[in-house]
Amino acid sequence: MTTVALTRAQAYETSDDVGRNDSANTTIGDIIAARFDRRDVLRGALGAAAIAATVSPLALAAAPARANDSSRFRFTEVEAGVDADHHVADGYDADVLIRWGDPVLADAPAFDPMRQTAAAQKLQFGYNNDYLGYLPMPGAANPSQHGLLVVNHEYTSEELMFPGLGRQDLKSVAFAGITKDLADIEMAAHGGTVIEVKRENGQWRVVAGSKYARRIDADTPMDITGPAAGHDRMRTGADPTGRRVSGMLNNCAGGLTPWGTWLTCEENFHGYFWGKIADDHTEARTHKRYGVAGNWYAWGKYYERFDVAKEPHEANRFGWIVEIDPFDPGSTPKKRTALGRMKHEGAEGLVNRDGRYVIYTGDDERFEYVYRFVSTARADPSNAAANRNILDNGILSVARFNADGSVNWLPLVYGQGPLTAANGFHSQADVLIETRRAADLLGATRMDRPEDVEANPQTDKVYVLLTNNSRRKPEQVDAANPRADNAFGHIIEMIPPAGDHAADRFAWEILVKCGDPSIAPVGATFSSETSRDGWFGMPDNAAVDGQGRLWIATDGNSGKRTGRADGLWGVETEGPLRGTSRHFYRVPAGAELCGPHFTPDDETLFVAVQHPGEADNGAKEAATFENPSTRWPDFKPGIPPRPAIVAITRRGGGRIAI
């Protein structure tokens, strides 16, 4: 029997990313509509008048410009499409650096997909690589050619990993094929990896036997720090102190700090739990608001900590930003609770002009919020030890986008406004454990799946990537979320006053609304100089290179939806070409692009290719180990598709796209 197949990622999106925010807060679509005061926007109309009403005047001014005359992105575009391989702009090489199962630690065995074990996976590169960051090696002769790569491993796809298994999280299957051994392999394939890398004779390689090499997984001991550490709601039978937790889960985007640490974000942690607690349990409201017990994995069958009926507090110990010192493989990762608990996407930051450290992050679910953390202490990038606990104290705020083009940052501080005992908050720990509910009460703006939030240190502008929201109804559109049934997402630009990222009030504009601009009802607002290959949908991750240029990675384009694969695009943000996008790199079938990151000299671009081989949305048959949509990057019979890190360089040397 044939059925319409959903990929694992698409199934998560449709069944679990349901939009649990039932607050009466204004949506970003309401704000956009009010700001530009167009009835056609309020009705959900997406014709030319609506486009003109919701895009920045700077973007409209780009129409007569000529992209070839003054573009900051100088390369021949990749043709949009979908096939089994990856593709990069002409004149560049895209070389696989490391892939799932490759050795990380010195004693790792060779990858054998038919005889996998948890012991081997703990020594090998993990699955579904997402965020990656490059840290120059101290004292290196060329800091852009010798350093550490830190990599997140978000989730596992058992149907592509294990022979003869197929999808296990379907109700009709109910994890019948998942044994404890397979669950242990999945747990070992999560977490993160640190590898030492070096470029020699124009080629990047992993330094074998490096003293910095490290695998972090779902069992790695971690400290809980900050206001929620030790709180009763963080205590379990295995950890009566509430200060020590095993592992991190669903690590998506992240960031690097100026003092050389890696911030990795726990995103869809809710799906790792199963079981049920009573409706009158003290944690029932919190579990519901986060969607805990999503039943994505069978781990609760073998480990009580993943069964909420047996350990209702364990879920409170996930959904945090974790700080890791990659230069000390013996160091203990820290879950920094002052940064709030949510489905974190991104933790890129910068040192503010007054010296305080600022981190932006999104909560990746439909109708969730955009956040900012400002440290209490001032950062000292020249003294790593001085910043060791700087992220344990500061103010976490949530964004309210206003129709007048302003953004208010609303502090989530216990005792202020509605965040009191009358509403069930008895400490700052409660506010942080229930960050979403606290933001509800403050009246934050409900957004269209906020994912990466990236600041440009050269312009001080901040870019918010809103991936999509097909559940937004016409009556829910607002100024910052202008489209009902927003299938393709948009990008918002926030502007802090005088470059002060700690200010209480910013300005905002829409940089671009995504989708095919040739189809008027879509309402896309790319510059008219964007080619048929240059437009994209579903913006996900962002990077700003050393030239101050914005690069956008996507998640959700597919043959059925758009006729093109996911990939990487350069987007003009300034001048007459503002809103022009150009296609630089394309991933293979079934994959998404994650974690674009440049070396300091802009001569290497590292990217993460995640879940290659998944089935296209709407395919009649599901992708499996035996029947993937591609066998990239090995293309060998019996070898499954393998998520991998790719190093992109210019043939003959030189900076990317210059």
Residue of 100, 131, 94, 128 whose CA lies nearest to 594: 131
Determine if residue 67 is left, alpha or beta; phi over 0 gives left, psi from -120 to 50 gives alpha, anything else beta: alpha
CA distance 560 to 619: 8
Collapsing DSSP to helix, strand or coil, 376 comes out as strand
Determine if residue 405 is left, alpha or beta; phi over 0 gives left, psi from -120 to 50 gives alpha, anything else beta: left
Residue of 590, 599, 575 whose CA lies nearest to 624: 590
How much is the pLDDT for 100?
A: 98
CA dist 265 → 134, 152, 248, 334, 349 (Å) = 17, 9, 9, 12, 13
Confirm if 582 and 77 have CB atoms less than 8 A apart.
yes
What dihedral do alpha carbons 513, 510, 68, 583 form, nearest 10°?
Answer: -50
Count of CB atoms situated within 10 Å of the CB of 498: 7
Confirm if 79 and 67 have CB atoms less than 8 A apart.
no
DSSP state of 168: -
How much is the pLDDT for 261?
A: 97
Q: At 223, which helix (H) or strand (E)?
A: strand 221-225
CA distance 626 to 606: 29
Structure tokens at 86: 């990856």
Residue of 144, 280, 202, 194 whose CA lies nearest to 599: 144
- DSSP codes, 377-406: EEP-TT-GGGGTTGGGSEEEEEEEE-TTSE
Structure tokens at 280: 């009158």
Q: Burial of 625 by CB count in 10 Å (0-12 exposed, 13-18 middle, 19+ buried)?
A: buried
Q: Look up residue 536 and give its amino acid.
A: F
Q: At 35, which helix (H) or strand (E)?
A: helix 28-36
Give every CB contact of residue 275 below 8 A, 6+ residues apart in sequence: 293, 300, 307, 308, 309, 310
- DSSP codes, 575-606: GGGTT-EEEEEEPPTT-EEEEEEE-TTSSEEE
CA distance 545 to 570: 10
Count of CB atoms situated within 10 Å of the CB of 406: 15
Q: Burial of 209 by CB count in 10 Å (0-12 exposed, 13-18 middle, 19+ buried)?
A: exposed
Confirm if 318 and 266 have CB atoms less than 8 A apart.
yes
Mean pLDDT per 10-residue section of the chain, whose length is 658 residues: 50 60 79 55 34 39 49 97 97 98 97 98 98 98 98 98 95 96 98 98 97 98 98 98 98 97 98 96 97 95 98 98 98 98 96 98 96 98 92 98 97 98 98 98 96 97 95 90 93 98 98 96 96 97 98 90 93 97 97 98 98 83 94 97 98 97
Residue length of the chain: 658
Q: Is the peptide bond before 633 cis (omega within 30 degrees of 0)?
A: yes
The C-alpha R_g of the chain, in whole angstroms, comes to: 23
Structure tokens at 640: 């499954």
How much is the pLDDT for 25?
A: 87
**What are residue 66's DSSP bridge partners?**
none
Q: At 354, which helix (H) or strand (E)?
A: none
Q: How far apart are the first and last CA of the chain?
A: 52
Q: Burial of 254 by CB count in 10 Å (0-12 exposed, 13-18 middle, 19+ buried)?
A: buried
DSSP state of 316: G
Q: Look up residue 95 and give its amino acid.
A: D
Q: At 255, which helix (H) or strand (E)?
A: strand 251-256
Residue of 116, 121, 107, 313 whose CA lies nearest to 216: 121
Structure tokens at 508: 């905002």
Give every CB contact of residue 224 below 8 A, 6+ residues apart in sequence: 230, 234, 242, 243, 244, 245, 317, 320, 334, 335, 337
Q: At 49, which helix (H) or strand (E)?
A: helix 48-54
CA distance 222 to 167: 31
CA distance 203 to 607: 15
The owner of tokens 């001080």 is 460
How much is the pLDDT for 21?
A: 86
Q: What values do phi and psi take at 187, rounded to 5?
A: -65, -35
CA dist 508 → 131, 169, 405, 407, 464 (Å) = 26, 41, 5, 7, 10
pTM score: 0.93
Confirm if 225 and 122 have CB atoms less than 8 A apart.
no
What is the CA 45 to chain-centroid distance, rounded?
Answer: 30
- DSSP codes, 440-508: HHHTPPB-B-EEEEEE-TTT--EEEEE--BTT--GGG-BBTB--TTBSS-EEEEEE-GGG-TT-SEEEE
